[in-house]
Amino acid sequence: MTISATRGAIAAALLSLSTLAAYAQENPECIAPANPGGGWDFTCRQVGKSMQDQGLIDQTMQVVNLAGGGGGVAFAEVVNKRGDDDNLIVAASSATATRLAQGAYPGNTMDQVRWLASIGADYGVIAVAADSDMDTLPALLDQIKADPTSISVAGGSAVGGWDHLKVLIAANAYGIEDVRSVKYIAFDGGGEAVTQLLAGSVQAFTGDISEAKGFVDSGDIKVIAVLAPERLDGEFAEMPTAKEQGIDAIGANWRGFYAPGGMSDEAYDMWVSKIADLYASDAWKEVMSANGLAPLDLQGAAFEEFVSNSVAQIQTISREIGIIK
């Protein structure tokens, strides 16, 4: 390398460092677009705590639960009122992409915000109360086939959202021709959906493994199917997949963050960098393992492209099963 090239490389490195240093973070905040206890709430709280533990932020991340509209209330709040907030990040997932794909956030599109990074993928589950007499996914779906009105399935996303789609994908794979006969009831977050299951108001739950784990550990629910290609590792290894029960249904819910569309480049680069550093840490690998998160390592432009592709794919699935025209 020539002397001039070396100087150029040094200058570029210094510029990159100065860009990150130019943004002095204050009062970091994460919006979880659902009530406490669900996957978005888990994403904000776990990432905030882990970032502080790793010294990536020097203040406690304030978590604000802003439920409603399957994430639409939070999305509108960010777009319309918090558009240039450099201290704000928002938990997102396949549920966010689903609602965007279906036009369920009126007047809002994915290009109104900036997509930061992913922190893993969370496989879907279908569960029942621990004392339910249904122990398998075919048993549940057979009952729906026999009498669709006898089974209500609760989820933490809006009607037509990702939790809803997961049980419809399973029903479709099992040969239920009119998947619209599946009775789905939407709640603001997985925690509230499980509460209704335990109260006996519904007979099954569709959600993600991270939000189901605590209720499995407490002995309140049993997972009758994980929507993964094969059994997960560790403490999740005892949970059967839909696939091994003869139902070819896969549902991986990515988890990550978006930021306000008017966030400065300096703040955006800082958040992308910090989330990337967290993801690469051994501590986060332990969090992923403990909560059943599968690897998904995407930042910045690569993550934005991934979300765009997810939106397109979900639009295709939604048309196939009659959610949108």
Query: Is the confidence at residue 112, as pLDDT, over 90?
Result: yes
Q: Total domain count for the chain?
A: 2
Question: Tell me, what's the pLDDT at 20?
Answer: 43
Q: Verify that 216 and 140 share a domain, yes or no.
A: yes
- Average pLDDT value for the chain: 91
Phi, psi of 20 (to 5 degrees): -65, -40
Q: Verify that 141 and 232 share a domain, yes or no.
A: yes
Q: What is the pTM of this model?
A: 0.77
Q: Verify that 158 and 222 share a domain, yes or no.
A: yes
Is residue 12 situated within a structural domain? no
Q: Verify that 128 and 116 share a domain, yes or no.
A: no
Tokens linked to 316: 């295709």
Is residue 161 situated within a structural domain? yes
Is residue 261 situated within a structural domain? yes
Give CA–CA dist 193/206, Å, rounded: 9
Give the number of other Cβ atoms within 10 Å of residue 113's Cβ. 25
Mean pLDDT of 218-227: 97
Q: Verify that 128 and 271 share a domain, yes or no.
A: no
Q: What is the tens place of the pLDDT at every residue in 266-297?
A: 999 999 999 999 999 999 999 999 888 999 99
Mean pLDDT of 225-242: 93
Tokens linked to 174: 């099992």
CATH number of the domain encompassing residue 152: 3.40.190.10
Is residue 325 situated within a structural domain? no
Query: Is the confidence at residue 238, as pLDDT, over 80?
Result: yes
Q: Verify that 131 and 270 share a domain, yes or no.
A: no
Query: Is the confidence at residue 198, as pLDDT, over 90?
Result: yes
Q: What is the tens place of the pLDDT at every residue in 115-172?
A: 999 999 999 999 999 999 999 999 999 999 999 999 999 999 888 888 999 999 999 8
If you write DSSP's letter for every residue of 161-202 in order, what string do you get?
SHHHHHHHHHHHHTT-S-GGGSEEEE-SSHHHHHHHHHTTS-
Choose the weakest-confidence range: 16-30, 56-70, 203-217.
16-30
For residue 237, give its domain range: 123-251
Query: Is the confidence at residue 2, as pLDDT, over 90?
Result: no
